[in-house]
Structure 1
Amino acid sequence: MKRQHELEEHYGKMTQAFRIWMKQAGYTDTTQKEYMREAYGYLESLEGAEVEQAAKMHVISFLVSKQRGAGDRARNRTLSAIRSFYTALIDFELAVRNPAMEVKKSKTEKNKKPVYLEEDELAASLAFIDGRYRARNIAIFLLMSYCGLRVGEVHRLNRSDFNSVRGTIEVFGKGRKWNEIPVPEELASVLTEVAQDRITPYKEQEDALFVSQKGRRLSIRQIQKIASQTFEAFKSEYPNAANKKLSCHKLRHTFATILLKNGVDIRVVKELLGHASIETTMIYTHVNNEQKKEAMATIRLPINI
């Protein structure tokens, strides 16, 4: 890749617009870095051509150039980054069309069944959360698995976002959208305890609900580490789950799956997850082998055949 400063000389106004747009849109620091890296790669592929003159062919050519050894997930993430880049330019009136929207995402990934924990597995995994900050870590785990929060949303939670009287939390999610979520009574009790007993912040004005041992807002990476350590301990004792690739986001998958299996209207699940489109929620309407067996058990074949 060309040196970044060379690209900045030609496309600096656009890259600056993209940074500002992502920040005000509430993208996590990790996503911002990844999307900027993809944007620089795309700009280099234009070989000095003007961004607003690029067509669908340019986007596809860039995706193909990166496809060697990369799966559908990586391809779709790159496409999402380029789509966002053009959306930012349009918002700042630096472009009038988004050629990346004309490129379809990989169907293979969209049709892939989400990984999730069964309800008994989820309950069992909680027993492996231990240590000095057990209450805090359990609260984090429960927010992702029983309220469906993204790891970035947990990271951004403030004490003021939790209303213990109403039993709700205000979640600042994707697209800078606020979403009020009712909290189960048991979880509300845990959150109240965490809010009261949290570590004294390094900065007096810090309102973060989850604070690290150094007194700073718990980072996304630290939250992921808490989940990773819990999953490793859980899978060592539950071999049936050993092959599942578990992560913070898989807890969100679990939350959605449990609701739909319990008969909750998919439109309600969509709102709880903070999805912009019900099509995104549809990926959780998968069925498992036990449900298939139950369905087949309802069939009655003729006795005399």
Structure 2
Amino acid sequence: MKPGAPSLQSTRLLDQVRERVRYMHYSLKTEKAYLYWIRFFIRWSATQSGGMRHPRELVVADVEAFLSMLANERKVSASTHNQALSALLFLYREVLGIDLPWLNNIGRPQQTKRIPSVLTKDEVAGLLAQMDGVTALLARLLYGTGMRLMEGMRLRIKDVDFERQAIIVREAKGSKDRVVMLPRSLAPALRLQLLAARAQWEADRQVQRGGVEVPHALASKYPKVGDTWGWFWMFPSPTLSVDPRSGVERRHHLYEERLQRALKKAVAAAGIVKPVSVHTLRHSFATHLLQSGTDIRTVQELLGHSDVSTTMIYTHVLKVATGGTASPLDALLSV
């Protein structure tokens, strides 16, 4: 157990990992990833040594051999490799309370810095024209604000301010809040979506369904806060689901794969050959803002980047897209 952290109540190792992850308020996605890699590491080590051993008994050679296997045999990407290492570091430091010197000496693979795929304004218009319904509204919202996929999906009623034409993005990457613009052109459609969400909320209240999920210990302090209108989802799911942590059946926000599938179909219908994901809308938002003359610090704040160097990648996209440097071939042929 790590000094300063509360004692773990669970006895099984993986349950202890869950307990510590939740105490530190990590996301469910992180919890699942860490459990996967820790379970994988233990089972793989057992196949190498001929028997199951507790991670306390494993040494630096075991960890390095596991990471080498991922890189050389499984050929995982640098980001996946780093995720596996982070899971093991979490296990030893946060769960087992072991901060061995060799943990700090295990190198992380360098991730390749790639220029993001960005759509032109015409391509964005063509893509959005192929979409309809709530997924079309979501795609327009993500492009129009620069929000990440889950930031848009988790949008609450209370965080959409029509009067100030602003949207508050809560607990974004790095657990930071930020404010983005509410596109004027989307206000009518968002108001209609709000009415649809209101009808769903009222129907849930009439049958006394469990309220929506609220962050951290807020539900313990205010038991009925999840039932209130302000905390309801702007994009609620049409069906109920069971919360994997609490086991409570409640209404979640719209499933993210619904937008991903709709976008994939729209890309094909629009005849776009570039690699496009939902995140491409965010890349295009930033690039088009810089292209229109918005200063990079403003774009940094809208995207929620901690360091302006992260935002600078879009200036590289602009250099290529605008053809700022003439090719010597063009000068030769113009003679």
- With normalisation by structure 1, the TM-score equals 0.74
Aligned to 1:80: 83
TM-aligned CA deviation for residue 89 of structure 1: 6.4
Aligned to 1:261: 291
Alignment partners' CA distance in 2, 1:10 and 1:224: 33
Alignment partners' CA distance in 2, 1:88 and 1:21: 14
Alignment partners' CA distance in 1, 2:68 and 2:195: 53
TM-aligned CA deviation for residue 170 of structure 1: 1.4
Q: What is the one-letter code of the residue matched to 1:181? A: V
Alignment partners' CA distance in 2, 1:303 and 1:12: 67
The answer as to whether partners of 1:14 and 1:89 remain within 8 angstroms in 2 is no
Greater radius of gyration (CA): 2
Q: What is the one-letter code of the residue matched to 1:160? A: K
Gapped runs of 5+ residues in structure 1? 1-7
Aligned to 2:215: none
- Alpha-carbon RMSD: 3.7
Compare 58-67 and 249-258 and name the one that shifted more.
58-67
| Structure 1 residues 45 and 162, CA gap change in structure 2 (3 angstroms) | same
Aligned to 2:200: 200
Q: Confirm whether residue 250 of structure 1 aligns to residue 280 of structure 2.
A: yes
Alignment partners' CA distance in 2, 1:61 and 1:163: 52
Aligned to 2:217: none
TM-aligned CA deviation for residue 36 of structure 1: 1.8
Aligned to 2:256: 223
| Structure 1 residues 278 and 95, CA gap change in structure 2 (3 angstroms) | farther
The answer as to whether partners of 2:130 and 2:266 remain within 8 angstroms in 1 is yes
TM-aligned CA deviation for residue 97 of structure 1: 6.6
| Structure 1 residues 261 and 32, CA gap change in structure 2 (3 angstroms) | farther
Gapped runs of 5+ residues in structure 2? 1-9, 47-52, 206-226, 241-250
- SS of 1:217's partner is strand
TM-aligned CA deviation for residue 288 of structure 1: 5.9
Alignment partners' CA distance in 2, 1:249 and 1:268: 19
TM-aligned CA deviation for residue 54 of structure 1: 5.4
Alignment partners' CA distance in 2, 1:303 and 1:148: 41
Aligned to 1:4: none
**Percent of residue pairs bearing the same amino acid type:** 24
Q: Confirm whether residue 42 of structure 1 aligns to residue 47 of structure 2.
A: no
Alignment partners' CA distance in 1, 2:334 and 2:142: 52
The answer as to whether partners of 2:146 and 2:285 remain within 8 angstroms in 1 is yes
Q: What is the one-letter code of the residue matched to 1:120? A: D
| Structure 1 residues 50 and 211, CA gap change in structure 2 (3 angstroms) | closer
Alignment partners' CA distance in 1, 2:106 and 2:305: 22
| Structure 1 residues 301 and 142, CA gap change in structure 2 (3 angstroms) | closer
The answer as to whether partners of 1:145 and 1:252 remain within 8 angstroms in 2 is yes
The answer as to whether partners of 1:171 and 1:179 remain within 8 angstroms in 2 is yes
Aligned to 1:147: 145
| Structure 1 residues 87 and 231, CA gap change in structure 2 (3 angstroms) | same
The answer as to whether partners of 1:42 and 1:82 remain within 8 angstroms in 2 is no
Q: What is the one-letter code of the residue matched to 2:262? A: Q
The answer as to whether partners of 1:137 and 1:226 remain within 8 angstroms in 2 is yes
Q: What is the one-letter code of the residue matched to 1:233? A: A
The answer as to whether partners of 1:151 and 1:224 remain within 8 angstroms in 2 is no
Q: Deviations over 1:115-162 (max 9, x none)?
A: 2222211111111122xxx2x333311222121222221221111111
Aligned to 1:5: none
Alignment partners' CA distance in 2, 1:103 and 1:263: 40
Aligned length: 281
| Structure 1 residues 92 and 304, CA gap change in structure 2 (3 angstroms) | closer
